[in-house]
Amino acid sequence: MPARLISIPFFILTAVFGYLTLEKNGIYPYILLGSVIALALIYTFSPQINWWWYKRYPPDIDKQMRQLLIKNLPFYNNLSVNDKKKFRNRMALYMIAVDFMPKGWDNVPTDIKGIVATNIVQMTFNQKDFLLPKFERIVVYTIPFPSPQFPETLHASEIFAADGVLLFSAQQMMWPFLQPQQYYNLVLHEYIKVYQLSYPNKMYPKLNEEDWQILTQISKFKKEHVTGIIGLKDIDPSVVSGTLFFTHPEKYQAVAPNLYKQWETIFA
């Protein structure tokens, strides 16, 4: 971490002038005090220092994650060389910015973090602010889970807006990333909801139950498939519509061009 590197000289100064303060009089105690104050400030503002550094010198994702993008994400493959770099940098920054919390395992694997990041980066790619900072915690279970909002139901995803938390099952998260035409993307589904909460003043399309026929025509995903993937019965077709805008763009534009245009305006 950059903040740790910056703190090293002050640790050395603290050690040296701490010793000199014990052995001799003079200005050494004042220098020691200055070093201690500097360390305290670096510690206090380390998140801001690190973020400033990473934005100035953005990291890249590892080779394995790059190969997963090339193999499984058409959106990435259709970008220019410069935009591919922008996409990867934003993925890396997002994985640094949010707090991934494992449930059922010791650590959230890097590829799982990467899969989450691909979805939000694709969704906000055309925008300057791509982080959606009101939601900075992501809980990742290994399999479907109950929760305080749905204690009696094992499900694979949800958001808890009061605490700015997204919850996912890694098992169901992997399926649409590896086979996007076979499985509904529950990660994008939850991020569409997060986006709507983050930007409530935008004019989002409103779909009703009868519009499931259009959504099925776009993706071949019936309502039962979507509810089966997520594990909850109460699914807003408007959110599904926003999700399919990203996962099935060509078919969406052909089947519902006006609706597609509305989503295109929102994410432009």
Q: Could you write out the DSSP letters of every residue in 125-158?
A: TTSS--S-TT--EEEEESS-B--SSSTT--BSEE
Q: For residue 48, is pLDDT > 70?
A: no
Looking at residue 53, its pLDDT comes to 61
Counting residues of the chain whose pLDDT is more than 90, the rounded percentage is 71
pLDDT at position 237, please? 97
Mean pLDDT of 102-119: 94
| Model pLDDT for residues 65-100, shown as the tens digit of each residue | 999 999 999 999 999 999 999 999 999 999 998 999
Rounded Cα distance between 265 and 49, Å, is 35
Compute the Cα dihedral for 195, 198, 199, 200 and give only its sign: positive
Task: Please answer whether residues 186 and 168 qualify as being in contact, where contact means their C-beta atoms are separated by less than 8 angstroms.
Answer: yes
Reply yes or no on whether the pLDDT at 147 is more than 60.
Answer: yes
In tens, the pLDDT along 182-238 reads 999 999 999 999 999 999 999 999 999 999 999 999 999 999 999 999 999 999 999
Domains in the chain, start-ordered, CATH in brackets? Answer: 2-56 (no CATH), 63-266 (3.40.390)
For range 164-171, the mean pLDDT = 96
Instruction: Please give the radius of gyration of the chain, using alpha carbons only, rounded to the nearest integer.
Output: 23
Question: Which pLDDT value is given to residue 177?
Answer: 92
Selection from 118, 50, 109 nearest residue 89 by Cα: 118
> Cβ(218)–Cβ(251) under 8 Å?
yes
Amino acid (one-letter) located at 182: Q
- pLDDT > 70 in the chain, percent: 79
Residue given tokens 């889970």 in the structure block? 145
> Which residue(s) pair with 155 in the sheet?
145
What pLDDT does 133 receive? Answer: 84
Which pLDDT score is estimated for 226? 97
Pairing of strands 165-169, 137-141: parallel
What does the pLDDT read at residue 140? 97
Question: Which among 236, 234, 209 has a CA at the least distance from the CA of 153?
Answer: 234
Contact 50, 2 (CB under 8 A): yes
Average pLDDT over residues 116-126: 95
Give me the mean pLDDT over the 237-259 stretch: 97
pLDDT for 57 equals: 73
